[in-house]
Amino acid sequence: MTQPVEINFTDNVPEKIAELQGRIALILTATDRLPGKLPRPAREAATRALASKAGQALKPGQALELAFPAGMEAESLLLILLPHSATQSEARRAGAAIGAKLGRGHMLVMAGAHKLSNDVALGLALRSYDFGVYHTDREDADEARPQVTFLVKKPEELARVASDAAALAEGVFFTRDLVNEPANVLTTTDFADRLHAMEEIGLEVEVLEEDELEALGMRALLAVGQGSESPSKVVVMRWNGGEDEAPLALIGKGVVFDTGGISIKPAAGMEDMTMDMGGAGVVAGVMRTLALRRAKANVVGLVGLVENMPDGKAQRPGDIVKSMKGDTIEVINTDAEGRLVLADVLWYAQERFEPKAIVDLATLTGAVIIALGHDNAGVFCNDDTFADQILTAAKSEGEGAWRLPLGKPYDDLIKSRLADMKNTGGRAAGSITAAQFLQRFIKPGQPWAHLDIAGVALPPSATDLAPKGATGWGVMTLDRLVRDQFEAK
């Protein structure tokens, strides 16, 4: 997998800053405060730059770059404004500004005693992600990995705190890698193998194959994958870091490629359907983070892995399938397949684990993009307190989330003449009717939230903390939710 850049912390001030190679970043609490160690020509150039129109327009977290600064051997000098009163999000953006300019050489970040240095480091790590595995001109990339050193007041203390941030970054990178992988590589089998390999870091991992799923009655999930050569699977990942208590259950939609099935999608843009396993990718990334940081909580992650293809054996519009719960579903549109996968996994999770709460994640509907764009995930929840906890966690981590409604009028839109329900209610309120469908598979009194991440998993452009491509949205939010609400204090 793509590894986050290694960051070292030190309080050893270089004797000759003028002779340092690579790049240097200065964290400035104000635009008129430069470190005294800068050579005079570079100091004068930086002072002029900060006094310029561009320098005066700097906002917290933003950077101004001086290429080949006078009197120094460094390639560039980055001036980043970050007042002591800055927020966590601003500190991470400051780090991201550095990460975007990292290059392949050495980067020295002069952060001094700034209290948000850890968030700067996390932002740097997240933004420096580069999924270059299929670029043949980068085959020697491992030999040219950048080196980052933070010059800080208390390096040992910061290094201890940064270990959890490193675990978080690795979880985000794991998710991004999974979402960015092409479907001819990330088959259901390859996906399951990557998850099974996480036993090495302490997770308990179990892979349920098609015969086991058939015996359990997961006909809704199996129907989605019956047109594919890739076998459908359910992977169960367990982290038992808490006391003897019910776990939090995280459930992800893992459609490794979605053609739409017989209700085939238009060709334009179909290449992006490699990301339709984004929910499963987030669950995998969270579980990796929890294991790496040895979280004091019980969490189970379940992902349904299928491929939706238009083979002669594929399910058809008009088919009626029976879920593990026992409810029958009329398939109106085979492109509304993710909810069929989640329905069976949701029921299985409740039957087997009796979880304290459930969060499912899915790139479920295009309708949520129409409603919220690419800045917010849609949050649906049957418990106000739980909803507030999720929204608070998302806000704390700077990941956009917005609550959308549930209600019986929407439920009426998925009534079927022939079965207990149909799998789509049409264009009107499409993301809400999808959530209403899922709620049919939640037992009474079970706290549950559904996160529709279709707009945030693979946005069309770079974000504050991610280059263009997969963002890993949700790993930080759910790690924060576990830390704040489910972890032993």
Which residues carry out catalysis? 265, 339
DSSP 28: E
Angle formed by the axes of helices 278-292 and 188-196, nearest 10°: 10
Q: Which phi and psi (to 5°) does residue 199 adopt?
A: -60, -25
C-alpha distance from residue 191 to each of 207, 231, 234, 488 (Å): 11, 11, 11, 31
State how beta strands 401-403 and 357-362 pair.
Answer: unpaired
| Whole-Å CA distances, 414 to 99, 360, 373, 403, 433 | 47, 20, 25, 21, 7
Report the run of H or E that residue 446 belongs to, with start and end. none
Q: Are 259 and 234 in contact (CB under 8 A)?
A: no
- The residues facing 206 across adjacent strands are 236
Residues 6 or more apart in contact with residue 336 via CB below 8 angstroms: 423, 424, 434
Whole-number Å distance between alpha carbons of 306 and 219: 12
Coil, strand or helix at 250: strand
204 bridge partner residues: 238
Beta bridge partners of 29: none
Q: How is 130-168 classified by DSSP, letter by letter?
A: ---TT-GGGTTGGGG--EEEEEES-HHHHHHHHHHHHHH
Q: Say which amino acid occupies 215.
A: A
Q: Please give the Cα distance from 202 to 238 (Å, whole number).
A: 9
User: CA–CA separation, 322 vs 347, rounded Å?
Assistant: 13
